[in-house]
Structure 1
Amino acid sequence: MEPTLKQFRAFVAVAESGQFTRAAERLGLSQSAVSTLISQLEQNLGLRLFDRHTRLLRLTQAGAEALAVARQAVGDLDRLVENARDLNNFSRGRVSIAAGTLQAALMLPRLIRSFRDRYPNIDVTMHDVSERAVVDMVKSGQVDLGLGTVPDRDSEVLGLELTTDSFLVVMPPEHPLAQRRGLRWKDLEAETLIGPQRGNPIRERLRAELARVQVNLTLHRSFQDVSLPLTIIGMVEAGLGIAVMTSAVNPLAKSMGLVTVMPVEPIITRKISLIQRADHSLSPACRLFRDFLHRSTQSSLRNGFRRTGSGQ
């Protein structure tokens, strides 16, 4: 039979205490149980570990060599148990999350701060990347979680919905469309549009939804491959066109003196979710962070709804 950790633990206790009686007290076992464990270990190893005298135990040369290995095995197990306890008690841990630029700048920082105030020993690392890079980083294992849109029919990832983004148009306040009521997507067909580059989930979602109602918006050829939302906003502010973005940009647009209008026919939205690999279990710290973000965003949505309802 193979030696067991229970046998190794008894061996270390007897070697360090020099007596079966003291080792038994240390382990919370009977003296006979400890003696049996040592005999079993010697039989399993095919070695004599102790020279037994009337009142004294002495390690043999083989026993002294085996003791170092046994101590390491027992120590490794104790550290494993301690680490598991720490992780499950959230006394330490690491979490990494990737998010598109707007969510990374305007949504996540306050949530991460609230989480770290509660769990200061858990380190959270945030990566601000392009929207289309979020899912790739989750799939490759570069990050534990992603914040963005789950691709349709992608079985490699799972999503936990946090909130919903609405598609809108960003423009200067003096633009003729800024004051138009009931702005339709079709009204934008003749406009110079600036938007995210090809392959961006926002652009793909917009294209698919507009195709259903036979609306064809062509992004301005000179600017169709813009990758950063801040660049798009800057171009709108400079008068180079108007931009199709999502409601996550509202705080940034307002801070730069721009207005946002949500077109109808149809109203287009997308789900913002926490994304994780379907075949990968999250660590206790990651699960805690995921659940914290979900509770926090749902609470904010409920409070926002109550404030809106009470003001009507």
Structure 2
Amino acid sequence: MNVTLRQLQAFVSVADLGRFNLAAAHLGLTQSAVSIMIKDLETELKQRLFDRHTRMVSPTLAGREFLPQARKILADLEIAVGNIHELNTLGRGRVTVASAIVLAATLVPPVIARFVSRYPDIVVQIRDMPEEEIRPALTRNEVDLGIGTLSGDDAEIDATLLGRDRLTLVCRADHRLACQTEARWSDLKGETLIGLAKENPLRDMVDHALLKAGAELRTKYEVRFSTTAISMIAEGLGVSILPENSQQLTASVNVKSILLTQPTISRDISLLQNRQFMLSPAAARMKEFFIQARQMAMADRGPLAHAQR
């Protein structure tokens, strides 16, 4: 059915005002243009909508039945346009961010706090998950943004660097290396390692560095979460190699983080998004907030001070 918005507007205006010339003035059109639109609408509906009198017009029975529906269509359209306008102006919306566990507990909350303070009507959902689950969540379009580490180039995922996080040795406070501020990878020879799951992007980095340094570590335990590894370290079950920002999770347990050198190895912390989907206005603004946080950290030498362009 070829019924246009302008025809509906003309019909409602004529019905409300009772005269074609008044409807034309209300719509900013000529009287002949309004008459043509009404005639075309009647042709399309195969019904006469108005009885024409000398000076006034009045809706026919078909016109009276059609009028409430026409009003509803116009009202629904106005609401829909208003809703889109609110989305564009960030008056409402929803953003879902997937984040690696440690980053969800350290890097993400301050950014979210700033965002919801500025846009209180936008719903923000955080999904803290293992690193290896972030990419699948993005490719399935289950989340808008991801915060984590991407293994190599990816044709489907776009990565914006937020910072670089150095790898550290995490051990008990009474460990033989705990009194040092730095340790070499080769110093770890013979230690019992609490390793991250093989699917975790950090696992390959750690295994490669240990192999290159000739450090023979026995991976006795394998865990998915850094928080689990830290608790196990506190119980004397071994040592682990974790990102530097894991230090923020160790304050309540008897462990220490020591920078690993020769070589110093960093992993990229990136803001990830699916290349195939355009971000909503709210998600695009959230992305800007994360990038602003990186810039502020570089200026203040904060948690993301290792970031490089």
Which SS does the other structure have where 1:124 is aligned? strand
Distance change >3 Å, CA 40–CA 183, structure 1 → 2: same
1:282 aligns with 2:266: no
RMSD: 2.2
* Paired residues of 2:188 and 2:215 also in contact (CA < 8 A): no
1:105 lines up with 2:97 in the alignment: no
**Inter-partner Cα distance in structure 1 for 2:28 and 2:188:** 79
Tell me whether 1:39 sits opposite 2:39 in the alignment: yes
SS in 1 for 2:163: strand
Name the CA distance, whole Å, in 2 between partners of 1:194 and 1:176.
17
Task: Confirm or deny: 8 A CA contact 2:187 2:215 kept in the other structure.
Answer: no
Give per-residue Cα distances to partners, 1:216-261, cap 9 Å, x unaligned. Answer: 654523x12x122211111111111111100120112244242211
Give secondary structure in 2 for the equivalent of 1:81.
helix
Q: In the alignment, which residue of structure 2 is the partner of 1:200?
A: 200
Q: Residues of 1 paired with 2:213 and 2:183: CA distance?
A: 16
Match of 1:232 among 229, 232, 255: 229
TM-score, L = length of structure 2: 0.89
Distance in 1, matches of 2:295 and 2:216, equals 34
Residue aligning to 1:71: 71
Q: Secondary structure at the match of 1:179?
A: coil
Measured in 1, the distance between the counterparts of 2:25 and 2:117 equals 43
Partner letter of residue 202 of structure 2? I
How much has 1:215 moved relative to structure 2?
4.2
Q: Does 1:264 align with 2:261?
A: yes
Q: Which amino acid aligns with 1:9?
A: Q
Residue range with higher mean Cα deviation, 260-269 or 234-243 = 260-269
Residue 279 (structure 1) shift: 0.4
Equivalents in 1 of 2:282, 2:127: separation in Å?
A: 18
Cα distance in structure 1, aligned partners of 2:135 and 2:66 = 49
CA deviations 1:253-293 (Å, max 9, x no partner) are 24424221121222111111111111001110110111111
Q: Is the 8 A contact 2:160 2:271 kept in 1?
A: yes
Residues 195 and 8 from structure 1, CA distance in 2 versus in 1: closer, same or farther, beyond 3 angstroms? same
* Partner-residue secondary structure (3-state), 2:224: coil
- AA aligned to 1:220 is T
One-letter amino acid matched to 1:167: L
Mapping of residues 167-186 of structure 1, within 5 Å: 167-180=167-180, 183-186=183-186
From the superposition, tell whether residues 243 and 30 of structure 1 become closer, same or farther in structure 2 (CA, over 3 Å). Answer: same
Contact kept in structure 1, 2:96 and 2:143, CA below 8 Å: yes
Alpha-carbon distance change, 199 to 218 in structure 1, aligned in 2, over 3 angstroms: farther
Structure 1 portions without partners, runs of 5+: none
| Cα distance, 1:10–1:217 mapped onto 2, change above 3 Å | farther
Bigger Cα displacement from structure 2, 275-284 vs 249-258: 249-258
Q: Secondary structure at the match of 2:147?
A: strand
Contact 1:5 1:73 in 2 (8 A): no
Contact 2:166 2:266 in 1 (8 A): yes
- Give the Cα–Cα distance (whole angstroms) in 1 for the partners of residues 105 and 235 of structure 2: 22
> Given that residues 95 and 123 in structure 2 are in contact (C-alpha distance below 8 angstroms), is that contact kept between their aligned partners in structure 1?
yes
The answer on whether the counterparts of 1:97 and 1:146 sit within 8 Å (CA) in structure 2 is yes
Unaligned 5+ runs, structure 2: none
| Distance in 2 (alpha carbons) for counterparts of 1:94 and 1:279 | 19
Aligned AA for 1:44?
E
Partner of 2:219: 220
Partner of 2:243 in structure 1?
A: 246
Provide closer, same or farther for how the CA distance between residues 181 and 249 of structure 1 changes in structure 2, counting only shifts above 3 A. Answer: closer
3-state SS, counterpart of residue 177 of structure 1: coil
Q: CA 1:272/1:181 → structure 2, altered by over 3 Å: closer, same or farther?
A: closer
Amino acid at match of 1:194: I
Question: More displaced, 31-40 or 232-241?
Answer: 31-40
Partner of 2:138: 138
Question: What is the deviation of 1:214?
Answer: 6.0
Contact map agreement 1:150 1:158 (CA 8 A) in 2: no
Distance 1:57 1:275, change over 3 A: same
- Under a length normalisation based on structure 1, what TM-score does the superposition of the two structures give? 0.89
1:74/1:61 Cα in 2 relative to 1: closer, same or farther (>3 Å)?
A: same
Aligned residues: 303
TM-aligned CA deviation for residue 121 of structure 1? 1.2
In 2, distance between residues paired with 1:144 and 1:68? 40
Q: 1:26 maps to what in 2?
A: 26
What is the match of residue 54 of structure 1? Answer: 54
Q: Give 1:68 shift.
A: 4.0
> Which has the larger displacement, 255-264 or 280-289?
255-264
- Which amino acid counterpart does residue 87 of structure 2 have in structure 1? L
Are 1:151 and 2:151 counterparts?
yes
How far has the Cα of 1:190 moved from its partner?
Answer: 1.1
Distance in 2, matches of 1:201 and 1:254, equals 25
Task: Give the Cα separation in 2 of the matches to 1:53 and 1:234.
Answer: 87
